[in-house]
A and B are shown apart, each in its own frame.
Chain A
């Protein structure tokens, strides 16, 4: 008995709707965020993550209203990311009802933001999201992954493992790690990436990108050493339920909250 591994459904939200892209493009509508949140909560989701992928700043406040509405009805941890540029953005999201705020591009542009936000609100509510892509190495010894920003469009030259360690040292309480190579492919997590980052840091790592079936969730924990697994499409379109996923993980020896 002990700490359970977490299943976190992810809701990519734009203009007030949940969508899901394939390899960061080609969006497909998946429904109303409040309704979907309630459904996942009832099914036993351990947390919910919202990524605001609204491109323009015009509709930024829409996410605050969605989070307010979800937080009044759903009593599990809520993480919100997307477009977080300054401590004021963190404050607004927390005040709307987010429990954790995820910082991605701005952490690269201004690492001090992570330190300031963690210093002010505590590491427990600061998640650093890393989008990583394999850049070299055919075998596991020479694997290397580079950090990308701006929704995966801009290379940074940063090594993903080193970057995760740096973010931890600045105060990140958790790392949300997405494989760009796998995202939307349904071929499973990049397990070598997940394991490399998870083994390198002391804070929890959430594996993301590529889940196509329940076995992938099991692999993310057992082989990737992830504390939590994040998935979107396998849950959004009703292929698998959260409880079904947890029962599958439990059958494979993983402690879960049922």
Chain B
């Protein structure tokens, strides 16, 4: 049985994600897969994504992965990264596409008119680089990570949650936006933990040991 399945729907490079997970869970079997059956059997699922959301949704469906993703998001430790966070929401301004609708809210583009810093200087889009992640809740995935620790971001769209309840962290660029959400067995982040040095590896290490509540079937601890 696969311990950790990284869902591959052909959008972008997943090598960094798998390398980082292998690093924090050397005894776990980490598989990059586009096979819905492998996703279903995995104890934990990582849902990454890069590029444009319409393409991501299309490619995911073209591989018949939608149901496997929905099942995983409803049943086992599930980590969304970047587009894998945005796709959990209802709609996106990027190509006016529908998301998976697991979480209420929408994905918006950083509005050009707002992109100025305190000195009036233009802020670049994509939001690229190391920004501070302010933790909004206590969560097992934040263990060992100080609030306002910096993580690596690269994105032009951000999520606007309909309810404040799933917000696990926020950042500023220049306004406050949600950069992590948590709901039951789902944790999803806008930044790239696989590229975020010690803080990112700590988060991934927390994920591979995470036991999200008693309703989920027990899974092993690897690290």
A residues touching B (Cβ–Cβ < 8 Å)?
1-6, 41, 46, 71-72, 75-77, 94-99, 121-125, 173-174, 199, 202-205, 225, 227-228, 257
Main secondary structure of the interface of A (DSSP, over half): loop
Given the complex of chains A and B, what is the CA–CA distance between A228 and B130 in angstroms? 11
Query: Bound state CA distance, A204 and B117, in angstroms?
Result: 14
- Given A97-B19, A203-B125, A228-B129, 20 additional A-B pairs, CB 8 A: A2-B174, A3-B130, A3-B131, A46-B129, A72-B19, A75-B16, A75-B196, A95-B13, A95-B15, A97-B15, A97-B16, A121-B12, A121-B13, A122-B50, A122-B51, A124-B50, A124-B51, A203-B126, A205-B124, A227-B129
How far apart are the CA atoms of A3 and B174 in the complex, in Å? 9
Are B197 and A41 interface neighbours, CB within 8 A?
Answer: yes
Assembly CA distance A97 to B195 (angstroms): 11
The digit string for B12-51, where 1 denotes a CB below 8 A from any CB of A, is 1101100110010000000000000000000000000011
With known contacts A3-B129, A121-B12, A257–B174 Cβ distance under 8 A: no
**Which residues on the B side are within 8 Å of A98 (C-beta)?**
13
B222 CB-CB contact with A under 8 Å: no
A227 B15 Cβ-Cβ under 8 A: no
Contact at B13–A4, with CB atoms within 8 Å? no
One of B64-72, B149-157, B210-218 contacting the partner: B149-157
B13 near A1: Cβ-Cβ < 8 Å: no
B161 contacts the other chain (CB 8 A):
no
Asked whether B11 lies within 8 Å of A4 as measured between CB atoms, the reply is no
> Is A2 touching B117 in the complex (CB atoms < 8 A)?
yes
Which B-chain residue is minimally distant from A173 (CB atoms)? B126
From B13, B132, B196, A2 is in contact (CB under 8 Å) with B132
A204 nearest CB neighbor, chain B only? B124
The answer on a CB contact under 8 Å between A1 and B201 is no
**A123 proximity list for chain B (CB < 8 A):** 126, 156
Can you give 20 A-B contacts (C-beta < 8 A)?
A: A2-B131, A3-B127, A4-B130, A6-B130, A75-B23, A75-B194, A75-B196, A75-B200, A95-B13, A121-B13, A122-B52, A123-B126, A124-B155, A173-B154, A202-B124, A203-B125, A225-B122, A227-B128, A227-B129, A257-B150
Counting chain B residues whose Cβ lies within 8 A of the other chain, the interface size class is 35 or more
Q: Are A94 and B129 in contact (CB under 8 A)?
A: no
Contact A122 B11, beta carbon cutoff 8 Å: yes
Of residues B129, B196, B201, which shows the largest number of chain A Cβ atoms within 10 Å of its Cβ?
Answer: B129
Q: Look across to chain A and name the residue whose beta carbon is closest to the beta carbon of B49.
A: A122
**Which of A4, A75, A77 sits near B20, CB closer than 8 Å?**
A75
Q: How far is the CB of A194 from chain B (nearest CB, A)?
A: 14
Contact A125 B12 (CB under 8 A): yes
User: Does A227 lie within 8 Å of B20, measured CB to CB?
Assistant: no
Residues from chain B with Cβ under 8 Å of A99 in the complex? 13, 16, 195
Any A CB within 8 A of the CB of B93: no
Complex Cα distance A241/B5, Å? Answer: 39
Closest Cβ–Cβ distance, residue B194 to chain A (whole Å): 7
Shortest Cβ gap from A118 to chain B (Å): 9
Residues in B neighbouring A228, C-beta threshold 8 A: 129
What's the minimum C-beta distance from A203 to chain B, rounded to whole angstroms? 6
CA–CA, A228 and B152, complex, Å: 14
Asked if A174 meets B128 with Cβ closer than 8 Å, knowing A2-B173, A97-B16, A122-B11, the reply is: yes
Nearest opposing residue in chain A for B132, CB measure: A1
Q: Enumerate chain A residues within 8 angstroms of B51, measured Cβ to Cβ.
A: 121-122, 124
